[in-house]
């Protein structure tokens, strides 16, 4: 049968035969020649690559299957609330992370081998925003034990740790030197990306669990000593983040108008910075630098700014701008420089595209070589040169130097910890060491999570917090810290699902018995390898899936003419229908999604649907071993790779 003209035009990879195959093999050759190895279908749960690529370890496949309607919630629970429960088992900030996470899960999505990845974080935003709109709360926390933990830092890692500890019956007190909780969510990311009404709601929902106290405007090592905390609390978790930006490794980088991206964004998010300079140059290439230049374009400049109101004075905390300055804003000239070419920049691709549309000039493949200062010691220009990269080290191209005149230079090349007053906990990189259980290696009872170990993603800090909370629970209980799973994520648990559905196995009477596929004291024909294996697309029957365009959420993106003063939220939420349809694109890798292929294609009618009153997620089909001939067609046509041929009786 020839390919249709429509197929050829729509899917250019269509071919009748694989490379090297010259004869069409009849499926009948498989169907009527039984296998000789005594293998029958076994239903094997594995971890999908989206989840294994999520540093928070969210059960992504799980909440997508809930939203699409494959996994049904318990009676009396809506789809939205059930998806919220599943999503927040790992991450209590679905609204925030659905907006700002760069989504490494989407890069690993097996759907990329069919057409395009599933829009995971747009569905996550839908779950989080629905939770706020519907007023969903976390489930009742267990009774408190006798222990209380001090958490130093009220950002994503500290708040996530307080949440996970409270779910284990452990109280905590959060110490933070800011006036408000939120850390990087509040002070490091512009509010048009993390709208404060959603952020405040997600923080309040954690505090509403109870027995999570806060001590704001309190710096450990200055306002309270570590020794006092060790006396008062049973364990300490350091989640202080990285609040200092790295300066450019050039002479004159200490000029007053050379500032860090971290300090620039914090001044803006505190509301102190209302306008910026006329000519701004930001050196970076990552997400922080994109936020800096996008904010600078929105703030603009004013000509009547007095010298004592210059940006560096506001960033330094010496003064604050009057909000009335906004009325006099004019556009600022903003340039971003990067060592890497645009395609290789670490910033999220669509954020780079947004910055270009907003009027930011991007000079890529260049490195700063000199800061030019005037007689007063202020930077007036930045010298740059084209560069080549070898082993991550830039080398200037001879004769390619040029200058950019500027009034403000912002360095967004990295972040470091602020360990003043607690220097003894730091390492040579001005960070903190932690072992694989997130314990501080030199301080028993001290644990570490988040950027202070190594600056990375917000989702990474949240993942650290969950593991650290497990370690703290075991430490407080006097248990040894056991080996973590090879695939260390929040796994779907079939036994828990069976209990939820009142289908749990009966108690085993510990009597001798022959092998059986019918006794109800065990879950038959099922193997859980999710803690050790990740399902690859090679195990799946990808031909089952048709081309389906992604449902893109609406993004508010001003252009260069309208960006000035535009602080409207960027990411609009999907509608319920859009979220359901987008979740429906998930291939449910490593878990049955009830497509019926195995039932339809089995030539012996050996694979059958279980009875409706015995059906639940992961237990949709079973095998009649008396009929099975081991032909393995069911495994071949399983789109999710849920069926393996394993030893059994024919």
Output 30 or 111, whichever has higher pLDDT.
Answer: 111
Question: Is 444 exposed, middle or buried, given 0-12, 13-18 or 19+ CB atoms closer than 10 A?
Answer: exposed
Q: What is the mean pLDDT of residues 297-324?
A: 91
- Per-residue pLDDT tens digits for 422-479: 999 999 999 999 999 999 998 999 999 999 999 999 999 999 999 999 999 999 999 9
Tokens of 45: 């749960």
- pTM (2 decimals)? 0.91
Apex CA 365: angle with CA 359 and CA 370, to 5°?
90
The domain defined by 148-244+417-476 folds into FAD/NAD(P)-binding domain (3.50.50)
Using alpha carbons, select from 184, 180, 188 the residue that is nearest to residue 265.
188
Indicate the angle between helix axes 287-299 and 261-269, nearest 10 degrees.
50
Tokens of 7: 């197929």
* CB of 415 closer than 8 Å to CB of 451: yes
Q: In what order do the strands lie in the sheet with 526-528?
A: 526-528, 39-45, 643-647
* CB of 484 closer than 8 Å to CB of 468: no
Q: What is the mean pLDDT of residues 387-398?
A: 91
Provide the CA 333 distance to its chain's centre, in angstroms: 33
Q: What is the pLDDT of residue 352?
A: 94
Q: What is the pLDDT of residue 512?
A: 72
How far apart, in whole angstroms, are the C-alpha atoms of residue 304 and residue 439?
53
- Per-residue pLDDT tens digits for 562-571: 999 999 999 9
Using alpha carbons, select from 450, 444, 449 the residue that is nearest to residue 476.
444
Q: What is the pLDDT of residue 629?
A: 87
Q: What is the pLDDT of residue 380?
A: 97
Output 306 or 576, whichever has higher pLDDT.
Answer: 576
Output 24 or 80, whichever has higher pLDDT.
Answer: 80
- Per-residue pLDDT tens digits for 254-303: 999 999 999 999 999 999 999 999 999 999 999 999 999 999 999 999 98
Q: Binning pLDDT at 50, 70 and 90, where does residue 17 land?
A: very low
Residue 230 has pLDDT above 80, yes or no: yes
Q: What is the mean pLDDT of residues 566-579?
A: 95
- The dihedral through the CA atoms of 619, 625, 626, 628 has a sign that is positive
Q: What is the pLDDT of residue 25?
A: 53
Q: What is the pLDDT of residue 37?
A: 56
Q: What is the pLDDT of residue 58?
A: 97
Q: What is the pLDDT of residue 200?
A: 98
Q: Binning pLDDT at 50, 70 and 90, where does residue 304 land?
A: confident
Apex CA 163: angle with CA 159 and CA 166, to 5°?
135
- Per-residue pLDDT tens digits for 132-158: 999 999 988 999 999 999 999 999 999
Q: Binning pLDDT at 50, 70 and 90, where does residue 522 land?
A: confident
Q: What is the pLDDT of residue 4?
A: 47
Q: Map residue 373 onto helix, strand or coil.
A: strand
Residue 574 has pLDDT above 90, yes or no: yes
CATH code: domain 247-413 is 3.50.50.60
CATH code: domain 25-46+493-529+590-650 is 3.30.70
Instruction: Return residue ranges of the chain for CATH 3.30.70.
Output: 25-46+493-529+590-650
Residue 583 has pLDDT above 60, yes or no: yes
Q: What is the pLDDT of residue 510?
A: 74
Q: Binning pLDDT at 50, 70 and 90, where does residue 39 land?
A: confident
Q: What is the pLDDT of residue 516?
A: 66
> Percent of the chain beyond pLDDT 70?
93
How far apart, in whole angstroms, are the C-alpha atoms of residue 33 and residue 17?
23
- Per-residue pLDDT tens digits for 600-629: 999 999 999 999 988 999 999 999 888 888
Using alpha carbons, select from 240, 242, 241, 239 the residue that is nearest to residue 472.
239
How far apart, in whole angstroms, are the C-alpha atoms of residue 282 and residue 571?
24
Q: What is the pLDDT of residue 8?
A: 41
Residues across the chain: 650
Instruction: Return residue ranges of the chain for CATH 3.50.50.60.
Output: 148-244+417-476, 247-413
Q: What is the pLDDT of residue 22?
A: 54
Residue 3 has pLDDT above 70, yes or no: no
Q: What is the pLDDT of residue 229?
A: 98
In terms of phi and psi (left: phi > 0; alpha: psi -120 to 50; beta: otherwise), the region of 430 is left
């Amino acid at each position: 049968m020839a390919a249709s003209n429509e197929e050829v035009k729509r899917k250019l990879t269509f071919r009748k035969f694989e490379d090297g195959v010259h004869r069409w093999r009849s499926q009948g050759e498989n169907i009527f020649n039984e296998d000789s190895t005594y293998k029958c279908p076994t239903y094997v749960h594995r971890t999908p690559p989206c989840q294994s690529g999520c540093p928070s370890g969210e059960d992504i496949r799980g909440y997508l299957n809930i939203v699409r309607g494959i996994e049904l919630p318990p009676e009396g629970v809506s789809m939205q609330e059930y998806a919220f429960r599943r999503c927040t088992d790992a991450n209590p900030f679905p609204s925030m992370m659905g907006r700002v996470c760069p989504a490494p899960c989407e890069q690993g999505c097996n759907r990329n081998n069919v057409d395009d990845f599933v829009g995971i974080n747009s569905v996550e935003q839908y779950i989080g925003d629905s939770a706020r709109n519907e007023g969903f709360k976390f489930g009742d926390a267990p009774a408190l034990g006798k222990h209380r933990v001090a958490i130093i830092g009220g950002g994503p890692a500290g708040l996530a740790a307080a949440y996970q500890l409270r779910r284990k019956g452990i109280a905590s007190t959060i110490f933070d030197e800011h006036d408000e909780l939120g850390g990087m969510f509040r002070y490091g990311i512009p509010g048009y990306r993390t709208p404060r009404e959603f952020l405040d709601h997600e923080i309040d929902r954690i505090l509403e669990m109870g027995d999570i106290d806060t001590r704001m405007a309190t710096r450990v090592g200055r306002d309270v000593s570590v020794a006092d905390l060790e006396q008062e609390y049973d364990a300490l978790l350091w989640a202080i983040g990285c609040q200092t930006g790295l300066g450019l490794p050039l002479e004159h980088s200490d000029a007053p108008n050379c500032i860090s991206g971290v300090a620039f964004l914090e001044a803006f998010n505190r509301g102190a910075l209302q306008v910026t300079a006329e000519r701004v140059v930001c050196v970076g290439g990552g997400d922080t630098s994109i936020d800096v230049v996008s904010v600078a374009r929105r703030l603009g400049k004013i000509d009547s700014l007095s010298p004592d109101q210059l940006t560096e004075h506001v960033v330094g905390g010496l003064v604050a701008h009057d909000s009335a300055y906004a009325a006099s804003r004019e556009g600022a000239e903003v340039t971003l420089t990067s060592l890497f070419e645009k395609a290789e920049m670490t910033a999220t691709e669509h954020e780079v595209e947004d910055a270009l549309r907003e009027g930011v000039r991007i000079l890529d493949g260049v490195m700063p070589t000199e800061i030019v200062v005037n007689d007063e010691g202020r930077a007036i220009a930045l010298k740059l040169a084209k560069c080549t990269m070898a082993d991550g080290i830039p080398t200037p191209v001879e004769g390619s130097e040029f200058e950019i005149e500027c009034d403000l230079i912002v360095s967004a090349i990295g972040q470091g910890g602020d360990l003043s007053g607690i220097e003894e906990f730091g390492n040579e990189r001005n960070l903190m060491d932690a072992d694989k259980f997130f314990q501080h290696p030199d301080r028993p009872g001290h644990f570490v999570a988040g950027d202070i170990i190594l600056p990375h993603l917000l989702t990474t800090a949240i993942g650290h917090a969950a593991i650290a909370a497990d370690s703290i629970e075991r430490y407080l209980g006097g248990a040894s810290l056991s080996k973590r799973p090879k695939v260390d994520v929040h796994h779907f648990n079939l036994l828990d699902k069976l209990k939820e559905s009142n289908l749990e196995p009966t108690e085993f009477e510990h009597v001798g018995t022959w092998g059986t596929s019918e006794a109800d004291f065990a879950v038959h024909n099922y193997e859980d390898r999710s803690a050790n294996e990740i399902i690859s697309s090679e195990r799946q029957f990808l031909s089952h899936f048709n081309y389906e365009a992604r449902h893109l959420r609406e993004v508010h993106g001003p252009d260069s003419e309208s960006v000035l003063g535009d602080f409207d939220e960027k990411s609009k939420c999907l509608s319920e229908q859009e979220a359901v349809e987008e979740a429906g694109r998930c291939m449910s890798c490593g878990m049955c999604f009830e497509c019926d292929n195995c039932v339809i294609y089995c030539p012996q009618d050996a694979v059958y649907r279980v009875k409706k009153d015995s059906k639940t997620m992961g237990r949709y089909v079973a095998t009649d071993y008396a009929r099975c001939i081991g032909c393995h067609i069911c495994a071949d046509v399983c789109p999710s790779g849920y069926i393996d041929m394993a030893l059994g009786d024919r």
